[in-house]
Amino acid sequence: MNWIKRHQAAWLRYYIARKKPGTGYQGLLRLLQLFCHRHGFTRQRHGKQKQKQSVLIEVRDDFVAEFHLQYHGFGPDCVYNVDETGFYYDMPPKYIWSARGGDANISTGEKHSMRMTAVLTVRSNGDKLPILFTIRGTPGGRIETSELPTYKRPLLCFVEPSVMLLDNFESHVSDASYRIVEEELSSFLCAIPPNATSICQPLDVGVMAPFKRYLRDEWLNEEMIDGEDGDDFDTPTAAEKRKAMVKRAIAAWDRVTATEIRNNFVKALPSIEE
């Protein structure tokens, strides 16, 4: 896709213009898949072992019952779900195409070095909070010493006690995390059961997937930024790429609707019948 964006930009714009909104990326991907299949390439992808659906549903039901028992007094504007996702300037392929019988490894030059993390936060009433972007920085640099101390506190301040739903990642459920949420924010940290975010976490149930799809759509419509790879975060080219990534993520986040968010909170935390 990068080759097409760089060398066949006019054709790409014409191709996307003929497609329905939001279908350009998938249409182009399908076209490339047919081309690869016709010329003898095979598609490979790492597999992951998953828990049985019946086990996941049982875990979710137990979690939901405990959640509603402990936090039934919190309204939909006081229940938050926070999760992060990484994305790249050049959106990485999910699959590797290789000649039949050939090596499926990716060379060093084809790997994506410009990476950014987007922290997404939603409330069960459908609200979206602004994205928190995390990039590689310099310890003791200007942002850490001069800017974070002045703006972090207002951004993390909740108007009233709230519940924060987080996955079971080690740093999320550490003693320090519980202390910060409870003592500094006067709120509650609720850890989602391990290996159950696909069914218990609203963002994973049905918000993250469309967000990433919108990211790919926005990337496909971007102009290529010429220059070096941008692994050095002090170069002007790297700064331009970071700016493009931030704009891309904001545009994709804007396309996620309040209805989608509310519906997926209902799926992840269904009401318990008395």
Interval 132-187: pLDDT, tens:
998 877 788 877 787 777 665 555 554 678 999 999 888 888 999 999 888 888 89
List CB contacts of 16: < 8 A, sequence separation 6 or more: 24, 28, 220, 221
233 and 175 fall within a common domain: yes
Whether residue 116 is contained in a domain is answered as yes
CB distance 46 to 131 below 8 Å = no
Whether residue 44 is contained in a domain is answered as no
Angstrom distance (rounded) from CA 114 to CA 87: 9
102 and 213 fall within a common domain: yes
pLDDT value at residue 105: 57
Whether residue 274 is contained in a domain is answered as no
Buried b (16+ CB within 10 A) or exposed e, 76-110: eebbbbbbbbebbbbbebeebbbeeeeeeeeeeee
98 and 194 fall within a common domain: yes
Whether residue 147 is contained in a domain is answered as yes
Question: What range defines the domain where residue 21 resides?
Answer: 1-39
pLDDT value at residue 120: 97
15 and 54 fall within a common domain: no
54 and 31 fall within a common domain: no
Q: 0.85 exceeded by the pTM?
A: no
pLDDT value at residue 227: 57
189 and 83 fall within a common domain: yes
| Domain harbouring 216, CATH code | 3.30.420
pLDDT value at residue 44: 53
Whether residue 144 is contained in a domain is answered as yes
Angle among Cα 27, 32, 38 to the nearest 5 degrees reads 130
Count of all residues that appear for the chain in the document: 274
54 and 2 fall within a common domain: no
Number of domains in the chain: 2
Angstrom distance (rounded) from CA 33 to CA 23: 15
163 and 64 fall within a common domain: yes
22 and 105 fall within a common domain: no
pLDDT value at residue 210: 94
- Crossing angle of helices 236-254/208-220, nearest 10°? 130
82 and 135 fall within a common domain: yes
250 and 168 fall within a common domain: yes
Whether residue 273 is contained in a domain is answered as no
- What residue ranges of the chain have pLDDT lower than 50? 46-47, 49, 107-110, 158, 230, 273-274
CB distance 208 to 83 below 8 Å = yes
200 and 235 fall within a common domain: yes
